[in-house]
A = this chain, B = another copy of it.
Amino acid sequence: MFRVPSRPPGALYAIGMGCVLALILVAGLAFAGDKARFTADGALIRPSNYREWIFLSSGLGMTYGPNAPASGAPLRFDNVFVNPSSYQAFRRTGRWPDGTVLVLEVRESQSRGSINERGHYQTSIAAIEANVKDSRRFPNGGWAFFDLTPRGEDSPKAVSAVPPGNNCEKCHSTNGAVDNTFVQFYPELIPFAQKFGTYKPGATAPEAQH
């Protein structure tokens, strides 16, 4: 046991206050430190630990556009992660708060065994993209896309947004089930969007766009 110097009631009060201060600090770090961070000139600072965020879902062969594999090459997987505080906010409200970062990680696939075996598993990273919500920075729709694909030693620590009017934005704003995001592919989130009335009626898987 430890000895409290003097005047136990005052000391206990101070210990209690210390506990409260520490808990506020920890809670603040845990629930706000995962939102989008930008440099002074508006570039997105690369989230280094997105693999420890919340996994939303994965698909195989859903990749199109510039990240699609070469003709005849194996299909690619898409893994989607979101920062934990925004995931919790979505479960509470059916909406993405400002600062939300959805990371799309595109991975190569391999098949195992003989030519008849249909199984595919994930291997190396082919591309990383982020879809970031910030109503003030991105007034036209509230979202912007960033290409975070690693480029070895030259990988920049911060990345500027893909200019507005790009194909990602067009497809997401037209087809996303909830506010520019493809919640129709995230089975754990669909019930929350439906509960809070934010799921666009009739939203389904869009036609492939090659």
Contacts and interface: CB of A to CB of B under 8 A. Distances in A.
A81 B55 contact: yes
A63 B77 CA distance: 17
Nearest to A188: B51
A177 to B, nearest CB: 13
A183 to B, nearest CB: 12
A34 B5 CA distance: 37
Contact of A18 (B5, B17, B52, B185): B17
A159 interface: no
Contact of A62 (B18, B20, B119, B187): B119
Nearest to A63: B119
A129 to B, nearest CB: 17
A84 B58 CA distance: 20
A87 B52 CA distance: 9
Interface stretch (A7-15, A40-48, A148-156): A7-15
A77 B187 CA distance: 13
Nearest to A18: B18
